[in-house]
Structure 1
């Protein structure tokens, strides 16, 4: 086994007014509270759900207001839209599975290393909960749709910025991933239009992700301040990377295969038109508002992400 890479000492920003601050005692209190909630609210994912024999295909698997073509007029036929809702659900869950796999690998590489020692207990809860999420998202797809969509290759490099900045990149990606999907989970988990099993899956995921997001924001801020103090010259490069990853994440919702599978003609053209439609661009901004505001308030972004990044 190789030794963990040596990292620079943990240092905090000397300009607290420019970014969110949280002292060590406050963060330690947060970690203890989140760990306690994880213990108290633990559930067995393998026995939590009552899986039906089938999920009706004539029912909306995703509320049509949240489909990638919502508000565009690109698809009007209800049968086609319901088929699209099924395939968008599969894509949505597939993105969860692939994203969680990457997340778990990166967190596992850091747990029980010197730089992350103070987070060890909560990171164990974090990994356990994410493992449960990956299982039930994949289980739904394998039970009712024949499996998940394959992972698309990312055009963005995931590391190589130096150890301290790589930590920032990894946990920023995790935070973006969690914020995007929690936007949908929090709404679908209460939506009476969709089948019970889907509503229950969304609700379970949202319940856990609220803890993960709270932890992630404070961790990203601390890691960013440490990296900035040690290597300030990469600041603009990191901001661009995180914004590009936000764009990539939004675009991944528009998997061209979902349009092919529901029988839409010229799926690539439909994807392009949907991505650049003003209604969808406004939705993208709404979808990313919470995490975008965090990055600005934390001093990680000098300007907000904005719509120009998606359709570019």
Structure 2
């Protein structure tokens, strides 16, 4: 049986629904929202900080490092909320007026429900860390509005996959980090477990949409997906996080941009994503050039 047949896709959706029924979390009760924040713990593993390994990092006090990582993780969570709102619109549009009796339809709605809970969870976490107000730049917000209203087929599901795959690798480290806040470890665990189903669903949807597609559409879709990825990754860490840690923003931005450690960590988080996009025919030379701009390849 073809891996992209409707029967195989329905089987994947049924298995994901069964998984969701047995292993899902309610952040309202799973996260200890009343636990005080330990002042000695980071917001994310220091190795994932944009400044880790730089001269500026070596000059920073421990308090500044902790403050920076808490604001960095809050900025990443805020970007997650932004894209999850885009994601929900795309999935709703894709499932609009489709056959209601399929497992695909039911899992798509399950995914939307998960994303709503995740956004609320991230919102509360940012508030708890007193690091609210991080948003993508205005141009990106408007680009996201257009993407949410127009992206279809493999473009919409690959956009979802890009955002979730990059965050997944980071959060798998955060959830195991003994020097990371329990708040971040728990929210990361919830997101990793539930998003693993979303990523499997997105991969299957992409396989189905790309089955028998010509070279021209593969090229165009691949470039659009790469542009969307560029926008998402460029907005993950807001430049205002540096001022929040008492740093010179201009110097911090320059060191973060040229930081070889940060570049290596980003590339490592995208290895499996790039392999899948290549297998799907969505990784042309033009797309690769766009990914390289944000160190995804």
Common fold by TM > 0.5: yes
Aligned equivalents of 2:144, 2:112: Cα separation in 1: 23
With normalisation by structure 2, the TM-score equals 0.86
Aligned equivalents of 2:228, 2:184: Cα separation in 1: 28
Aligned equivalents of 2:216, 2:281: Cα separation in 1: 15
1:291 to 273, 285, 288: 273
Counterpart check, 1:178 vs 2:178: no
Counterpart in the other structure of 1:38: 20
RMSD in angstroms over aligned alpha carbons? Answer: 2.7
Counterpart in the other structure of 1:106: 90
Counterpart check, 1:81 vs 2:65: yes
Counterpart in the other structure of 2:176: 190
Counterpart check, 1:137 vs 2:119: no
SS in 1 for 2:116: helix
**35-44 vs 177-186, which moves further:** 35-44
Aligned equivalents of 1:150, 1:254: Cα separation in 2: 9
Deviation at 1:130, TM superposition (A): 1.0
| Change over 3 Å in CA distance of 1:278–1:116 after alignment to 2 | farther
Deviation at 1:141, TM superposition (A): 1.4
| 1:235-254 pair list within 5 angstroms | 235-254=218-237
Which stretches in structure 2 are left out of the alignment for 5+ residues? none
Counterpart check, 1:263 vs 2:249: no
Compare CA radii of gyration and give the structure with the larger one.
1
| Change over 3 Å in CA distance of 1:127–1:159 after alignment to 2 | same
With normalisation by structure 1, the TM-score equals 0.82
Check whether the contact 1:188–1:199 (CA below 8 A) recurs between aligned residues.
yes
Aligned equivalents of 2:100, 2:54: Cα separation in 1: 46
Check whether the contact 2:81–2:122 (CA below 8 A) recurs between aligned residues.
yes
Deviation at 1:168, TM superposition (A): 2.2
Give the count of matched residue pairs. 287
**142-151 vs 60-69, which moves further:** 142-151
| Change over 3 Å in CA distance of 1:272–1:234 after alignment to 2 | farther
SS in 2 for 1:124: helix
**119-128 vs 137-146, which moves further:** 137-146
Counterpart in the other structure of 2:54: 72
Counterpart in the other structure of 2:194: 208
Structure 1 residues 155-182: Cα deviation after superposition (integer angstroms, max 9, x where no partner): 757758x97x633222111111110111
Counterpart in the other structure of 1:95: 79
Which stretches in structure 1 are left out of the alignment for 5+ residues? 1-15
SS in 2 for 1:106: helix
Aligned equivalents of 2:143, 2:26: Cα separation in 1: 35
Q: Which has the higher helix share?
A: 2
Structure 1 residues 141-165: Cα deviation after superposition (integer angstroms, max 9, x where no partner): 12331534134331757758x97x6
Deviation at 1:104, TM superposition (A): 1.2
Counterpart in the other structure of 1:302: 284
Deviation at 1:92, TM superposition (A): 1.4
Deviation at 1:251, TM superposition (A): 2.2
Aligned equivalents of 1:44, 1:205: Cα separation in 2: 11
